[in-house]
């Protein structure tokens, strides 16, 4: 769990650095093409404001992905440079405080999930799987290379007007 103690912030800001295991983030990703198994690395500064808590810094997470075009495995690093999060400590949307500590994990999880690729691709110009040339599969099966069109079948119809 990534948390900050509010008493430590009374006199000055503090720096939070380290790794958070993927199991603690519990991304709950159901996509077979994306796996978040490596730890999240963070380098954050936390400071107390009058009405809340301000977090700034960098979040990094490496995902194990499978390309949706060519099905090759690859790693994709998600980096949130200049990540900023303001957590109100008063009002309707205030952050939950337990034993003078605020759990930052849900806020980090949400922002990282928003960065996950919808359709992971190993490289921008990925051509995908190799294609079988037209007619090659049919010739192998002993069929003719000619492929009649739907229009050719309609031309065979003899309609009386």
pLDDT value at position 142? 53
Residue 76 is predicted with a pLDDT of 92
- Running DSSP on this structure, what letter comes out for residue 11? T
Maximum CA extent, the chain: 95
* Cα(124)–Cα(108) distance, integer angstroms: 28
Q: What is the pLDDT of residues 119-154, one digit of tens each?
A: 898 888 888 777 655 555 545 555 555 566 777 777
Mean predicted confidence (pLDDT) in 84-110 = 83
List of residues 6+ apart from 104 with CB closer than 8 A: 2, 3, 4, 44, 55, 85, 87
> What pLDDT does residue 13 have?
86
DSSP 60-123: EEEEEEE-TTT--EEEEEEEEEEEEEEEESSSTTPPPEETTEEE-HHHHHHHHHHHS-SS--SS
Angle CA(17)–CA(103)–CA(77) in degrees, nearest 5? 50
Residue entry with tokens 């509010």: 6
Amino acid 43: pLDDT: 94
Domain residue limits, the chain: 3-115
Q: Using an 8 Å Cβ cutoff, are 5 and 43 in contact?
A: no
Residue 40: pLDDT band (50, 70, 90) is: very high
């Amino acid at each position: 769990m990534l948390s900050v103690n509010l008493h430590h912030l009374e006199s000055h800001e503090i720096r939070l650095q380290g790794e958070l295991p993927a199991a603690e983030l519990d991304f709950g990703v159901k996509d077979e093409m994306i796996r978040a198994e490596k730890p999240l690395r963070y380098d954050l500064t936390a400071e107390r404001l009058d009405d809340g808590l301000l977090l700034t810094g960098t979040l990094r997470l490496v995902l194990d992905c499978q390309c949706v075009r060519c099905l090759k495995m690859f790693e994709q690093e998600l980096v949130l440079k200049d990540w900023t999060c303001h957590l109100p400590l008063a009002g309707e949307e205030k952050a939950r405080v337990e034993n003078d500590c605020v759990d930052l994990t849900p806020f980090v999880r949400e922002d990282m999930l928003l960065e996950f690729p919808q359709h992971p691709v190993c490289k921008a110009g990925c051509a995908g799987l190799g294609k079988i040339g037209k007619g090659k599969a049919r010739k192998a099966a002993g069929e003719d290379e000619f492929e009649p069109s739907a229009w050719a079948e309609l031309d065979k119809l003899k309609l009386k007007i």
